[in-house]
Amino acid sequence: MKNIKDILLKHDQAHLLPLLDALQGDELASFVQQVEQIDWDAAELWKHPEDLSGKGRIQPISGLTREVIEQNQQQYIPVGVEAIKSGKIGAVLLAGGQGTRLGFDAPKGAYDIGETHPVYIFERLIANLTEVCRQCECWVPLFVMTSDINDAYTRSFLAQNNYFGYPSSHIRFFKQDMVPVVDFEGKLVLESAAKLAFSPNGNGGWYSSLARSGLLKDFPQIEWLNVFAVDNVLQRIADPVFVGATILSGANCGAKVVRKCQPYEKVGVLCLEDGISSVIEYYEMTDEMANLRDGDGNLAYSFGVILNYLFNLKKLNETAGKHIPIHVVKKKVSIYSNGEIIKPEKENVYKFETLILDMVRLMETCLPFEVLREREFAPIKNKTGVDSVESARELLRLNGVAL
Ligand code: UTP
Counting ligand 1 atoms within 8 A of each CB, the residue from 230, 308, 377, 384 with the most, and so the one to mutate, is 230
| Percent of the chain predicted with pLDDT > 90 | 81
Q: Which residues of 263-389 form beta strands (DSSP E)?
A: 269-273, 276-280, 303-312, 327-331, 335-337, 340-342, 349-353, 366-370
State the Cα–Cα distance between residues 54 and 72, nearest whole angstrom.
38
| Three-state secondary-structure class, residue 67 | helix
Bridge partner residues of 353 (DSSP) = 327
Question: 368: closest CA among 276, 300, 280, 270?
Answer: 270
pTM listed for this prediction: 0.93
Of the segments 66-75, 293-302, 383-392, which one has the largest average pLDDT value? 66-75
Q: Give the burial class of 88: count Cβ atoms within 10 A of its Cβ; 0-12 exposed, 13-18 middle, 19 or more buried.
A: middle
Question: 99: closest CA among 114, 111, 89, 85?
Answer: 111
| Three-state secondary-structure class, residue 174 | strand
Looking at residue 43, its pLDDT comes to 81
Tell me the domains of the chain and their CATH numbers: 1-36 (no CATH), 37-398 (3.90.550.10)
Counting ligand 1 atoms within 8 A of each CB, the residue from 93, 94, 174, 357 with the most, and so the one to mutate, is 94
pLDDT tens-digit series, residues 100-158 = 888 888 999 999 999 999 999 999 999 999 999 999 999 999 999 999 999 999 999 99
The Å distance, Cα 94 to ligand 1 centre, comes to 8
Q: Are the C-beta atoms of residues 241 and 72 closer than 8 Å to each other? A: no
pLDDT tens-digit series, residues 25-43 = 999 999 999 999 898 888 8
State the Cα–Cα distance between residues 53 and 44, nearest whole angstrom.
19
Higher model confidence: residue 350 or residue 41? Answer: 350
Q: Does residue 284 carry a pLDDT above 90? A: no
